[in-house]
Amino acid sequence: MDASDEQLKSEQILCDIKRRHNSKEVIDVEEQRVKVVVFISGGNRYAFYGSDIREILTSCEIAWVPGLPEFLPGLINVRGDIESVIDIHYFLGEGKADPHKSLIAMAVRGDFRSGVMIDSIEDVVDIPLSEVKAPLSTLNGAARDLVIGEIDHGGKMVSLLDIDKLAARVSL
């Protein structure tokens, strides 16, 4: 075999490789993303899906109503609509929230509408859906019943809470 035959053979191999490479379909898949609202409650970080939180109210007068359970500190007026307020601290095993220092996250999911008292908002971020991990099976504490997943935020794991599970606990 002389040099020209080897060059011809190598060119045929390169052409074959290029043909195979070009025949492959390139599929550009954009991964689905979800918005999460990271908040602080009782010194711990939690998150809700952003689609469940309509707005954050900074200051509302909570009207006390006699006979309400401990986790419902009262009602608020949101632009003419009367909404209940849930103290999430109760369900997370963190004592009581201070209504004068709390923010209220307005949660809406299906037929459920209520304000949720939180200490502060840390961040609102879009994350790939694949970054939502299953909750640890060893998760302890009162929050375990509300957790549907965990996300990594700033190098720390944050428990993702489910508004549907909270609504079910409130309606009991």
Neighbours of 62 (CB within 10 A): 20
Cα separation, 82 vs 96, in Å, equals 22
* Domains of the chain with bracketed CATH: 33-171 (2.40.50.180)
Q: Is 40 exposed, middle or buried (0-12, 13-18, 19+ CB in 10 A)?
A: middle
Q: In which band, very low, low, confident or very high, does the pLDDT at 49 lie, cut at 50, 70 and 90?
A: very high
Weakest-pLDDT range from 10-24, 42-56, 100-114, 128-142: 10-24
Q: What is the pLDDT of residues 52-102, one digit of tens each?
A: 999 999 878 899 999 999 999 999 999 999 999 999 999 998 888 888 889
Query: Per-residue b/e over 120-137, b at no fewer than 16 CB within 10 Å?
Result: eebeebebeeeebeebee
Cα separation, 11 vs 47, in Å, equals 58
- Give me the pLDDT at residue 23, please: 66
pTM: 0.77
The yes-or-no verdict on residue 172 having pLDDT over 80 is no
